[in-house]
Amino acid sequence: MENSPRDQASSNVVPQPIRMSDGAGATDLGPRDIMRDRENPDMLVPPVTDAGLLPNMKFSFSDTHMQLNQGGWSREITVRDFPIATTLAGVNMRLTAGGVRELHWHQQAEWAYMLLGKARITSVDQAGRNFIADVGEGDLWYFPAGIPHSIQGLEGGCEFLLVFDDGSFSDLNTLSISDWFAHTPKEVLSANFGVPESAFSQIPNDQVYIFQDTVPGSQESQKVQSPYGTIPLSFTHRLLAQPPLKTPGGSVRIVDSSHFPISKTIAAALVEVEPGGMRELHWHPNNDEWQYYLAGQGRMTVFAGNGVARTFDYRAGDVGYVPFAFGHYIQNTGNQSLWFLEMFKSDRFVDVSLNQWMALTPRDLVRDNLHVGPELLDALRKEKWSVVKYPGCTYENK
């Protein structure tokens, strides 16, 4: 007898589209991508609970185009690659030591999570107040739409995730200082800055985007004093320094405008689900959910109503998506902790727990609606309602 689909995926057995529980399916003897089938066992052999049609809710940064530059690289996931992801877009970027994401700004807000290494960010707001900070692993930054900024890798370089509050955003179509200079007559630049045209004889002919520079000195050595003072709300937040809310199956750190006041359009949670744990059955009443998987292996099943559900498998570097108010849960299917970010185009992080809803509904109504046994009803009554529960992660419900 063949192993289960998940056992097949973790062994040298060639996985086959046959469901062992009911014998549905048949062998696939034609041309196929066996490595891809091993990565997606619940798409090759969908659980019996999967039914109907749902759009693809998984896309990997490994399947995106790399933009290579002297000083680093970038790749992005937008609606062009991932049509269902209309609310948010993501960019994965690497900068070498000294590599610079040039002075630029966006029509969209930028939220970022530092994956590895350290970087220096700079910015100036609309009141002429400037900001400079060094960010490291687990730190966040947020630049509101229209606020100019730059990013530079420090010693050892860095890699980070950028998230923008528009699914159609492209990082290659931003407003860059080099691009503007290149498309402005030199006599206009001369008149604007009050210097000879010769000062602009070596400016770039096009957008620089990312370029190699030397590693900058200390923050103090680069300090520029603004006559208008400093920015009142910090553009950075140390997420890993924020104490996690621990549960029997993992931990969670929630960051939204109540924790990171400048972040008005993107709310997030950094979730850890330990082996054998799961992110409970729930949904979000505020907006779609955009996910980025950092480590481990997970499986998400999404329920869309009318008997429609679909299951997807995720690994590090994958992006998941859940449309507004669709029910879902996420299981750790590996032997190490599953880490992922869940993000929303919103100023607050909110969700509705299925456990909590049932527990706060009259007992007889739940029993008669679902025909469940007293064991479930008794278990629900014992829950503590000061928290919303992730059976992998629990956070205080504010």
110: which strand partners? 143, 164
Any idea what the Cα angle at residue 150 is, between residues 144 and 153, rounded to 5°? 130
279 within 8 A of 355, measured Cβ to Cβ = no
One of 342, 375, 383, 396 is an active-site residue; which one?
Answer: 342
DSSP 336: S
Distance CA 332, CA 309 (A): 19
The residue among 283, 265, 273, 272 whose CA lies nearest residue 239 is 272
Q: Which residues of 51-66 are buried (b: 16+ CB within 10 A; e: fewer)?
A: eeebeebbbbbeebee
342 classed as catalytic: yes
215 within 8 A of 156, measured Cβ to Cβ = no
Q: Distances in Å between the alpha carbon of 144 and those of 148, 168, 371?
A: 9, 17, 50
CA 195 to chain centre: 44
Backbone region of residue 265 per phi and psi (left: phi > 0; alpha: psi in -120 to 50; beta: other values): alpha
How does DSSP assign 257-319, residue by residue? TTTSTT--S-EEEEEEE-TT-EEEEEE-SSS-EEEEEEESEEEEEEEEETTEEEEEEEETTEE
What SS3 state is found at 396? strand
Q: Which residues are catalytic?
A: 342
